[in-house]
Amino acid sequence: MPIGKSKNLGEAEVSHFFNSEEKQHAKAVCSTLNVLRCYNKQRCCIICSILTIYAKEKQKGEADLILHKGEILFRQGDSGQFLYHIKSGLFKVTRLHENGNVVLFNILYPGETVPHHSLISPKETHGTAMAVIRSEVEIIPAAEWYRELKEDPDKPLEIARLLQEKVRFMQQRLDHLTVGTPAERLELLVRWLDDYSQGMHLTELLTQEEIGQLIGVRRETVNRLLRG
Protein backbone atom coordinates (compact mmCIF):
# COMPACT_ATOMS: atom_id res chain seq x y z
CA MET A 1 0.00 0.00 0.00
CA PRO A 2 1.47 3.42 -0.89
CA ILE A 3 2.73 5.39 2.09
CA GLY A 4 0.50 8.35 1.29
CA LYS A 5 -2.65 6.22 1.69
CA SER A 6 -1.63 4.03 4.61
CA LYS A 7 -2.12 4.54 8.30
CA ASN A 8 0.76 5.88 10.37
CA LEU A 9 3.62 3.42 10.70
CA GLY A 10 4.01 2.17 14.27
CA GLU A 11 6.98 0.35 15.71
CA ALA A 12 4.66 -2.49 16.71
CA GLU A 13 4.18 -3.32 13.03
CA VAL A 14 7.85 -4.08 12.56
CA SER A 15 9.69 -4.22 15.88
CA HIS A 16 8.38 -7.66 16.82
CA PHE A 17 10.76 -9.02 14.18
CA PHE A 18 13.76 -7.60 16.08
CA ASN A 19 15.59 -8.40 19.29
CA SER A 20 15.51 -6.00 22.22
CA GLU A 21 18.60 -4.07 21.10
CA GLU A 22 17.13 -3.48 17.65
CA LYS A 23 13.66 -2.34 18.74
CA GLN A 24 14.76 1.20 19.51
CA HIS A 25 16.24 1.47 16.02
CA ALA A 26 13.01 0.19 14.47
CA LYS A 27 11.01 2.69 16.52
CA ALA A 28 13.23 5.56 15.39
CA VAL A 29 12.93 4.54 11.74
CA CYS A 30 9.15 4.34 11.97
CA SER A 31 8.97 7.79 13.56
CA THR A 32 11.16 9.20 10.80
CA LEU A 33 8.97 7.63 8.13
CA ASN A 34 5.84 9.16 9.63
CA VAL A 35 7.45 12.62 9.57
CA LEU A 36 8.76 12.19 6.02
CA ARG A 37 5.53 10.84 4.55
CA CYS A 38 4.20 14.30 3.66
CA TYR A 39 7.46 15.59 2.26
CA ASN A 40 9.04 12.85 0.22
CA LYS A 41 6.74 9.91 -0.44
CA GLN A 42 9.04 8.23 -2.94
CA ARG A 43 12.06 8.08 -0.65
CA CYS A 44 9.86 7.16 2.29
CA CYS A 45 8.53 4.19 0.31
CA ILE A 46 12.08 3.07 -0.49
CA ILE A 47 13.18 3.14 3.16
CA CYS A 48 9.97 1.46 4.30
CA SER A 49 10.35 -1.28 1.68
CA ILE A 50 13.91 -2.04 2.76
CA LEU A 51 12.94 -2.10 6.43
CA THR A 52 10.01 -4.41 5.72
CA ILE A 53 12.17 -6.79 3.66
CA TYR A 54 14.80 -6.86 6.37
CA ALA A 55 12.28 -7.56 9.11
CA LYS A 56 10.61 -10.40 7.22
CA GLU A 57 13.79 -12.00 5.99
CA LYS A 58 15.36 -11.80 9.44
CA GLN A 59 12.87 -14.46 10.53
CA LYS A 60 14.40 -16.81 7.97
CA GLY A 61 17.94 -15.97 9.04
CA GLU A 62 18.70 -13.83 6.01
CA ALA A 63 18.08 -10.32 4.76
CA ASP A 64 18.86 -10.32 1.04
CA LEU A 65 17.46 -8.11 -1.66
CA ILE A 66 17.23 -9.02 -5.36
CA LEU A 67 17.48 -6.10 -7.78
CA HIS A 68 17.08 -6.27 -11.56
CA LYS A 69 18.63 -4.06 -14.21
CA GLY A 70 17.64 -0.43 -13.73
CA GLU A 71 16.52 -0.78 -10.10
CA ILE A 72 18.00 1.54 -7.48
CA LEU A 73 19.87 0.28 -4.42
CA PHE A 74 20.35 3.72 -2.83
CA ARG A 75 20.08 7.33 -3.92
CA GLN A 76 22.39 10.30 -3.64
CA GLY A 77 21.77 12.06 -0.34
CA ASP A 78 20.14 9.12 1.46
CA SER A 79 20.73 9.39 5.20
CA GLY A 80 22.50 6.05 5.59
CA GLN A 81 20.06 3.88 7.53
CA PHE A 82 21.65 0.80 5.93
CA LEU A 83 24.88 -0.60 4.56
CA TYR A 84 24.87 -3.12 1.71
CA HIS A 85 27.02 -6.19 1.03
CA ILE A 86 27.11 -7.01 -2.69
CA LYS A 87 26.76 -10.79 -3.03
CA SER A 88 26.38 -10.94 -6.83
CA GLY A 89 25.81 -8.65 -9.78
CA LEU A 90 27.03 -5.17 -10.70
CA PHE A 91 26.00 -1.61 -9.87
CA LYS A 92 26.98 1.68 -11.44
CA VAL A 93 27.23 4.68 -9.11
CA THR A 94 26.53 8.12 -10.52
CA ARG A 95 26.62 11.58 -8.97
CA LEU A 96 24.48 14.56 -9.96
CA HIS A 97 26.42 17.82 -9.72
CA GLU A 98 24.99 21.28 -9.12
CA ASN A 99 25.50 22.21 -12.78
CA GLY A 100 23.27 19.31 -13.86
CA ASN A 101 26.05 17.00 -15.03
CA VAL A 102 25.68 13.33 -14.10
CA VAL A 103 29.01 11.52 -13.76
CA LEU A 104 29.66 7.79 -13.39
CA PHE A 105 32.36 7.55 -10.74
CA ASN A 106 32.25 3.98 -9.43
CA ILE A 107 31.36 0.39 -10.23
CA LEU A 108 30.28 -1.88 -7.36
CA TYR A 109 31.03 -5.60 -7.68
CA PRO A 110 30.60 -8.78 -5.59
CA GLY A 111 32.37 -8.84 -2.24
CA GLU A 112 32.08 -5.13 -1.51
CA THR A 113 30.29 -3.60 1.47
CA VAL A 114 29.09 -0.08 0.73
CA PRO A 115 28.95 2.88 1.06
CA HIS A 116 32.71 2.79 1.62
CA HIS A 117 32.77 6.19 3.32
CA SER A 118 30.28 4.91 5.94
CA LEU A 119 32.17 1.81 7.06
CA ILE A 120 33.55 3.59 10.15
CA SER A 121 30.97 6.31 10.79
CA PRO A 122 27.64 7.29 9.17
CA LYS A 123 27.44 9.77 6.30
CA GLU A 124 24.82 10.46 3.64
CA THR A 125 25.35 8.61 0.35
CA HIS A 126 27.57 10.34 -2.20
CA GLY A 127 25.83 9.01 -5.32
CA THR A 128 23.04 6.83 -6.71
CA ALA A 129 23.65 3.09 -7.19
CA MET A 130 21.72 1.37 -9.99
CA ALA A 131 21.85 -2.32 -10.86
CA VAL A 132 23.12 -3.00 -14.38
CA ILE A 133 22.42 -6.76 -14.17
CA ARG A 134 20.46 -8.98 -11.80
CA SER A 135 22.10 -8.50 -8.41
CA GLU A 136 21.77 -9.89 -4.89
CA VAL A 137 22.50 -7.68 -1.89
CA GLU A 138 22.59 -8.32 1.85
CA ILE A 139 20.95 -5.48 3.77
CA ILE A 140 22.81 -4.47 6.94
CA PRO A 141 21.17 -2.03 9.38
CA ALA A 142 23.73 0.69 10.10
CA ALA A 143 23.03 0.59 13.85
CA GLU A 144 23.88 -3.11 13.90
CA TRP A 145 27.08 -2.57 11.87
CA TYR A 146 28.37 0.21 14.16
CA ARG A 147 27.46 -1.76 17.29
CA GLU A 148 29.53 -4.71 16.03
CA LEU A 149 32.37 -2.32 15.20
CA LYS A 150 32.49 -1.27 18.87
CA GLU A 151 32.02 -4.72 20.36
CA ASP A 152 33.82 -7.11 17.98
CA PRO A 153 37.63 -6.75 18.07
CA ASP A 154 37.90 -8.43 14.65
CA LYS A 155 35.55 -5.97 12.92
CA PRO A 156 38.14 -3.18 12.34
CA LEU A 157 40.41 -5.65 10.54
CA GLU A 158 37.48 -6.76 8.36
CA ILE A 159 36.85 -3.13 7.40
CA ALA A 160 40.54 -2.53 6.73
CA ARG A 161 40.55 -5.48 4.32
CA LEU A 162 37.47 -4.15 2.53
CA LEU A 163 39.09 -0.75 2.08
CA GLN A 164 42.40 -2.32 1.03
CA GLU A 165 40.62 -4.28 -1.69
CA LYS A 166 38.95 -1.09 -2.95
CA VAL A 167 42.27 0.77 -3.00
CA ARG A 168 43.77 -2.03 -5.10
CA PHE A 169 40.81 -1.84 -7.45
CA MET A 170 41.30 1.92 -7.83
CA GLN A 171 45.00 1.38 -8.53
CA GLN A 172 44.04 -1.05 -11.28
CA ARG A 173 41.59 1.44 -12.74
CA LEU A 174 44.25 4.18 -12.71
CA ASP A 175 46.62 1.85 -14.55
CA HIS A 176 43.91 1.25 -17.15
CA LEU A 177 43.42 5.00 -17.60
CA THR A 178 47.10 5.70 -18.15
CA VAL A 179 47.94 2.83 -20.49
CA GLY A 180 48.42 3.30 -24.24
CA THR A 181 45.64 4.20 -26.63
CA PRO A 182 41.88 4.61 -26.09
CA ALA A 183 41.39 1.26 -27.86
CA GLU A 184 43.66 -0.46 -25.32
CA ARG A 185 41.81 1.20 -22.42
CA LEU A 186 38.49 0.01 -23.80
CA GLU A 187 39.82 -3.54 -24.17
CA LEU A 188 41.03 -3.57 -20.55
CA LEU A 189 37.62 -2.36 -19.35
CA VAL A 190 35.86 -5.07 -21.35
CA ARG A 191 38.15 -7.75 -19.90
CA TRP A 192 37.56 -6.59 -16.33
CA LEU A 193 33.76 -6.40 -16.71
CA ASP A 194 33.66 -9.83 -18.36
CA ASP A 195 34.40 -11.36 -14.94
CA TYR A 196 31.10 -10.01 -13.56
CA SER A 197 28.83 -9.23 -16.51
CA GLN A 198 27.04 -12.60 -16.77
CA GLY A 199 27.77 -12.69 -20.50
CA MET A 200 26.24 -9.29 -21.29
CA HIS A 201 27.97 -6.98 -23.77
CA LEU A 202 29.55 -3.77 -22.51
CA THR A 203 26.95 -1.60 -24.25
CA GLU A 204 24.16 -3.50 -22.47
CA LEU A 205 25.67 -2.46 -19.16
CA LEU A 206 26.73 1.13 -19.78
CA THR A 207 25.95 3.98 -22.16
CA GLN A 208 28.62 5.27 -24.51
CA GLU A 209 28.87 8.42 -22.37
CA GLU A 210 29.50 6.30 -19.25
CA ILE A 211 32.07 4.14 -21.03
CA GLY A 212 33.86 7.32 -22.07
CA GLN A 213 33.92 8.57 -18.49
CA LEU A 214 35.51 5.31 -17.32
CA ILE A 215 38.28 5.30 -19.93
CA GLY A 216 38.79 9.07 -20.20
CA VAL A 217 37.59 9.76 -23.75
CA ARG A 218 34.66 11.52 -25.42
CA ARG A 219 31.44 9.70 -26.34
CA GLU A 220 32.23 10.18 -30.03
CA THR A 221 35.53 8.35 -29.56
CA VAL A 222 33.75 5.47 -27.85
CA ASN A 223 31.26 5.27 -30.71
CA ARG A 224 34.10 5.11 -33.24
CA LEU A 225 35.93 2.42 -31.24
CA LEU A 226 32.82 0.27 -30.90
CA ARG A 227 32.07 0.52 -34.62
CA GLY A 228 35.67 -0.34 -35.45
The share of the chain scoring above pLDDT 70, in percent, equals 72
The strand pair at 102-108 and 91-96 is best described as antiparallel
Whole-prediction pTM value? Answer: 0.71
Q: Kindly report the CA angle at 126 between 109 and 210, in degrees rounded to 5? A: 55
Are 94 and 130 contacting, i.e. CB atoms less than 8 angstroms apart?
Answer: yes
Are 71 and 131 contacting, i.e. CB atoms less than 8 angstroms apart?
Answer: yes
- Structure confidence by residue, pLDDT tens digits, 47-99: 555 555 555 554 444 568 999 999 999 999 998 899 999 999 999 999 999 99
Which band of pLDDT confidence, cut at 50, 70 and 90, is reported for residue 110? very high
3-state SS assignment for residue 18: coil
The set of residues, in sequence order, having a beta carbon less than 8 Å from that of 206 and lying 6+ positions away, is 92, 104, 132, 214
pLDDT of the residue at 199: 87
Q: Is 175 exposed, middle or buried (0-12, 13-18, 19+ CB in 10 A)?
A: exposed
At 224, the amino acid letter reads: R
| Strands, E assignment, 89-134 | 91-96, 102-108, 113-114, 128-131
pLDDT over 50 at 12, yes or no = no
The rounded distance, in Å, linking the Cα atoms of 208 and 104 is 11
Are 129 and 91 contacting, i.e. CB atoms less than 8 angstroms apart?
Answer: yes
